[in-house]
Structure 1
Amino acid sequence: MTDVLISFVSLTGSPGLSTAALALTWCWPRHAVVAECDPTGGRALAVFDPDGRHGRPGVFELMLQARTTPIHRAMAGQLLVLPDGTGRHHLLPGATSPLEADSLDWRRLTSLFLELGTVDVLADCGRLRSRSAPAPVVAASDLVVVVVRNCRGSLQALVKAVDLIRAETGVVGDGLCVLVIEPDPRAHQRFPRGEIAKQFAGAEMPVIGGLSWDPASAAQFSELHRPGRRFATSALLGDAHRVAGEIGRRALERTSRLRRPLVEVRHGR
């Protein structure tokens, strides 16, 4: 099984990037880790372990342990199993503060992700161009997903920043795609998905899907995880299943295509 590294980034504001990354990992078709690489700090540990029973695992502790411990063993000690019932999806909590994030060696962390083998890593990298941004993680990704809110201001900002995004991420070709987050319909004018796709078609940034406005389900990933009976069949998870499959397919296809020449050279073909 081929492993992939996928980064999720946003341009401005808070479009729901962290919630999207967690929901997609929850529905991911393979073994996966959602890694909180947002330099402003991680929040998901408090969502899934509010009582602190698992201590303080995270990216900082992982890098410390990886100095003297094999990567898989070091990683295992820093992961929290997401309670989705599969046992295949995990959380790697982020830094506790921007100050701790400043001390992280993102290049080393990227290398650790790439050494995991048969585990896909979905990295929540926060806003582009933010202080202490995890640029090496984004640059090494097989696919970069730009998360945008479906409202006029966010979409216009993204259209104007396509060249900036490519320059900041270093991603060429089909390595960029767009994930649309539906906002509160009472507060924002929303646009048809097809119309949004046309806006980015010329920039080779396909819209790979969207996540519905579903505040009750989103709160299970952003506030406190205490799901009710309807959570499993919620609109958010239904969308997340479809989008996760599409993102995974694109990432695997691109990874296989880009890595194949390296394999052939290595074997002297």
Structure 2
Amino acid sequence: MALIVLTSASGSPGVTTTALGLALTWRRPVLLVEADPTGGSALLAGYFRGQTSPAQSLIDLAFAHRAGGLAEAIPWVAMQVPDTNVTMIAGTTAHGQARSLESLWEPLAATLKSLDAMGQDVIVDAGRLGLVGAPEPLMYAADLCLLVTRTDLVALAGARSWAQSVREGFEQQGGSSAVALLTVGAGRPYQAKEVSKVLELPVLASLAWDTDSATVFSHGGTAPRGFDRSPLSRSLRSTQDGVLSQISRTTKQLSSTTEASPALGEVRAGWKRRAGRTA
């Protein structure tokens, strides 16, 4: 269905927690890509509590790309999140690897978009804007890019100039409807209308301020009673509805002319070989 990229401008509004929460509540098979150039996988240290160490990570895709085998490598680099329909590509282990990824982002964007034809969506945690090695080509190739922000004055002040840059970038690419805001903690203290006015971008959805539930995703905490009905879980499902509706509106006119990427066959073959070896 889609390539969805989440990013932030300043502070720590919860991009990684949000990306993981969306992936784990997603209704279709989904690939979660940890593309934050900061280094040191927050997912492996947080949600997996340091107890999972995949053999490969994003840097291995960079090596595969240099060898001409990017599309085929994706199924091998991705790890299955137990008891879910989520596969994940872990991020780099150190910030010094960020420059090695700069040549990867553009071809990776094209390859990830081809997964739609396999019935698989992709959610990307792009980390914070402006860092060395930031995955901007993934952002601008996305069916939807969400700028994640809290709603307090400090967060909005930090996000304002970046929101303008991102908006202008999408306008230059002819995809101004492919970028929106995702707020965390609506009404703390500002509401969506006020946030949208300040940042000059539409607010697609708002996640509930629910620290007990967020800890499940951010630190692998024990799910509290009624977790599936918690404010955060409900708002994640509502956000998914908003994401899919927005993408449907912006891509409907292109659906009849979209052609499958040449990389699709290589990705599909890779998944089949992986399934055969792990069966």
The residue correspondences of 1:197-208 to structure 2 (distance < 5 A) are: 197-199=196-198, 203=200, 205-208=201-204
- Structure-1 separation of matches of 2:176 and 2:144: 10
Residue in 2 that maps onto 1:145: 146
**2:182 aligned with 1:179:** yes
- In structure 2, relative to structure 1, the CA distance for the partners of 1:229 and 1:61 (3 Å cut) is farther
Q: 1:36 and 2:34 equivalent?
A: yes
Secondary structure class of the residue paired with 2:16:
helix
Partner of 1:102: 99
2:177 aligned partner, one-letter code: D
Distance in 1, Cα, partners of 2:185 & 2:129: 21
Deviation, 1:37, is 0.6
> Deviation at 1:70?
7.6
Deviations 1:209-248 (A, max 9, x none): 1111111221122222433443222211111011011112
Q: CA 1:161/1:77 → structure 2, altered by over 3 Å: closer, same or farther?
A: closer
Q: What is the aligned counterpart of 1:219 among 185, 198, 215? A: 215
Runs of 5+ unmatched residues, structure 2: 260-279
Aligned 1:1-269 pairs, distance under 5 A: 3-41=1-39, 42-50=41-49, 52-65=51-64, 67=67, 71=71, 74-83=73-82, 85=83, 87-104=84-101, 105-116=104-115, 117=117, 118-168=119-169, 171=173, 172-182=175-185, 189-199=188-198, 203=200, 205-262=201-258
Question: Contact conserved, 2:213 with 2:224, CA < 8 A, in 1?
Answer: no
Equivalent position amino acid for 1:43 in 2: A
Alpha-carbon shift at residue 31 of structure 1 (Å): 1.5
Q: 1:206 to 1:61 in 2, by over 3 A?
A: same
Distance in 1 of aligned mates of 2:68 and 2:164: 41
C-alpha contact 1:71 1:115 (8 A) present in aligned 2: no
Alignment-mate amino acid for residue 97 of structure 1: A
- AA aligned opposite 2:183: V
Q: Spell out, residue by residue over 1:107-135, the C-alpha distance to the aligned partner (whole angstroms, 9 max, x if none).
A: 23223312323211111111112111111
Distance in 1 of aligned mates of 2:15 and 2:258: 33
Question: How many residues of Structure 1 are paired with residues of Structure 2 in the alignment?
Answer: 251
TM-score, normalization by structure 1: 0.81
Distance 1:115 1:225, change over 3 A: farther
Q: Is the 8 A contact 2:4 2:143 kept in 1?
A: yes
**Structure (1 or 2) with the greater helix fraction:** 2
Distance (whole Å) between structure 1 residues aligned to residue 224 and residue 3 of structure 2: 32
- Structure 1 distance, partners of 2:26, 2:229, is 16
Give the structure-2-normalised TM-score.
0.78
Distance 1:51 1:250, change over 3 A: same
Change (3 A) 1:214 1:165: same
Do 1:59 and 1:93's aligned partners in 2 also have CA atoms closer than 8 Å? yes
> Equivalents in 1 of 2:167, 2:218: separation in Å?
29
Q: Could you say what secondary structure the match of 2:77 adopts?
A: coil
Counterpart of 1:6, as a letter, is I
